[in-house]
Amino acid sequence: MKLALGLAVCTLFMGAVLWAQSDDFAEYQGWMKSNGATVADLNKNLTAKDGAAAHADVRKLQENLAMVMAYWQSRNVNDGVRFALDATYGLAQVDVLVTQKKFDDAAAALKTAQASCGNCHMAHRDKAPDGSFKIKLK
């Protein structure tokens, strides 16, 4: 009886751990899907010289990156934190140039910021055979 109870508790606990992991991943993936869509939107708004919409996109990206940075920080992965910070600084540049209505320079600065997205993808993103992405912690 005790053993059966112990096993049941154990199974429940493992289920919770697995669930927490996949839940974590879904949340992370949500930030990344939002990043992809928002960068595309930002590019469109820079071309259209829509300053207000561009500022809103930058804010959204920086919000996502703050969560991403915390994710890597809590796992003690320093280069992940660094890439998220670099992208955040790069977007701050974009923001300043938008305020100055230098939309072409802002588009160039966005390309530079995206290099930091790419650096983290090279270090920490794995492509599964089915084309989906995974997180590589090391």
Question: Site residues (CB under 6 A) for ligand HEC?
Answer: 28-29, 32-33, 35-36, 39, 61, 68, 72, 80, 83-84, 87, 116-117, 120-121, 124-125, 133, 135
By beta-carbon proximity to ligand HEC, the closer residue of 1 and 74 is 74
Which of residues 54 and 120 has its CB atom nearest to ligand HEC in the complex? 120
| DSSP structural state of residue 131 | S
* Helices H / strands E in the chain, number of each: 4, 2
Rg (CA), the chain: 19
Give rounded-to-5 percent helix, strand, coil for the chain. Answer: 85, 5, 15
**Closest distance between ligand HEC and the C-beta of residue 8, in Å?**
34
In the bound complex, what is the minimum distance in angstroms from residue 82's beta carbon to ligand HEC?
A: 8
Shortest Å, Cβ 27 to ligand HEC: 9
* Residue whose entry in the numeric block shows the structure tokens 């796992």: 75
Residues paired with residue 125 on neighbouring β-strands, in sequence order: 135
The residue among 103 and 116 lying less far from ligand HEC, judged by its C-beta, is 116
